[in-house]
Amino acid sequence: MRTADFDYHLPVEYIAQTPIEPRHAARLLVMRRSCEELEHSTFWEIGKYLLPGDVLVINQTRVIPARLYARKDSGGRVELLLLRRINEHTWEALVGGKRLTVGKQLRIEDGPEAKIAAVLGGSRRLVTFCEPIELYLQQAGKTPLPPYIHTHLADSQRYQTVYASCPGSVAAPTAGLHFTPELMQRLEAQGVEFVRVTLHVGLDTFAPVVEEDAQNHPIHSEWCEVTPQAAEQINAARRGGRRIMAVGTTSVRTLETAAQHATPGQTVAAFCGETRLFILPGYVFRAVDGMITNFHLPRSTLLMMVSAFAGRERILNAYHYAMQAGYRFYSFGDAMLIL
């Protein structure tokens, strides 16, 4: 499984720097796995491709203001990006600064004192705060945007889905950014059912794979949950012959993790905990019949996942076609519907 097989060239002008208004005005490239043709549409018209009874599984996670700044005793400034909560006082974080060794004391700007509890390799650290940092995030933290977005985002809510309700992510589940309340109401009136799951997104989801063999990539865990009610809605849909459509790769990862815990007669089981599921071509999908997704970075685990679902060559050909047609890529870009 060569990582280079998932590479492609994207000129920088195709990387969307700002979200489109309104959200549902994004373009939509429709791919049916049963045929070769691609179809152009808009996200507002996605209902044309959905059937009454289809279940759209959405990730209700909310991005936290996870970027913090601190000072060392020497006065030097340090940048922290919270990645994952370990316990009440300790987080895994990316830390930018020099000589950030175990025991180094930090003072969070507009926040509590902290110290480096462990060095995890590279810029990863365990950081222990003297008080729960969640108490200070609204005043001290800033919403982190992906490094390829260089334009200031005036309204941080545009990097949240309209249904975000469960704080915990450091990056948005971007396929869901295209939904508006009006579109959701329109789809529900059509007979489409929404089911909510949760996966708190970490930056590793978007990190490029650097190993020559993709199977050697050390994917990190993310916390996810499928409640008993959500599991029953999904299982009832499958028993009734209805389609389960994942909104975004995070929903795919959550559903397929829950499918691994299913008992005979179930499509998914209720699940709450860490997932390290890494979906590569050759994976047999158990729960997902269709996928709404954005256009992903080269050599990323997300590109590998959609390639597992629709075929590597077909996905890369579709990306090339989308570039020729002027689609916008990455987090604030346009969308694909894969059926």
Q: What's the CATH number of domain 3-63+152-338, 3.40.1780.10, 3.40.50.360, 3.40.50.720, 3.70.10.10? A: 3.40.1780.10
AA letter at 268: V
| Identical topology for domains 3-63+152-338 and 67-140 | no
H or E element, residue 72: strand 67-72
Residue 126 has a pLDDT of: 96
Q: Are 93 and 124 in contact (CB under 8 A)?
A: yes
Phi then psi for residue 202, to 5 deg, are -105, 165
Q: What residue segments make up the domains of the chain, in order of their start?
A: 3-63+152-338, 67-140
**Cis amide prior to 147 (ω within 30 degrees):** no
Residue 30 bridge partners (DSSP): 39, 337
Residue 167 bridge partners (DSSP): 62
Residue 205 has a pLDDT of: 65
Burial class (CB in 10 A: 0-12, 13-18, 19+), 277: middle
* HSE-up of residue 245 (Cα within 13 Å, Cβ side): 25
Per-residue pLDDT of the chain (339 residues; tens, 9 = 90+): 899 999 999 999 999 999 999 999 999 999 999 999 999 999 999 999 999 999 999 999 999 999 999 999 999 999 999 998 999 999 999 999 888 999 999 999 999 999 999 999 889 999 999 999 999 999 999 999 998 999 999 999 999 999 999 999 999 999 999 999 999 999 999 999 999 999 999 876 667 788 999 999 888 789 999 999 999 999 999 999 999 999 999 999 999 999 999 999 999 999 999 999 999 999 999 999 999 999 999 999 999 999 999 999 999 999 999 999 999 999 999 999 999
**Span 67-140 CATH architecture:** Beta Barrel (2.40)
Phi then psi for residue 15, to 5 deg, are -85, 115
C-beta pairs of 84-87 under 8 Å, 24+ apart in sequence: 84/200, 84/202, 84/220, 84/221, 84/222, 84/223, 85/168, 86/126
Read off the pTM.
0.94
| Residue 330 to residue 11: CA distance in whole angstroms | 12
CA distance to 41, 94, 338, per residue, from 33 (Å): 17, 39, 7
| Residue 222 to residue 269: CA distance in whole angstroms | 18
- DSSP class per residue in 187-224: HHHTT-EEEEEEE---GGGTSBP-SSBGGG--PPPEEE
Count the neighbouring beta carbons within 10 Å of the beta carbon of residue 177. 26
The β-bridge relationship of strands 27-31 and 38-42 is: antiparallel
> For the chain, what's the residue count?
339
Q: Are 64 and 82 in contact (CB under 8 A)?
A: yes
* Beta carbons within 8 Å of 126's beta carbon, 6+ residues apart: 86, 90, 91, 92, 93, 116, 117, 118, 120
Count the neighbouring beta carbons within 10 Å of the beta carbon of residue 325. 12
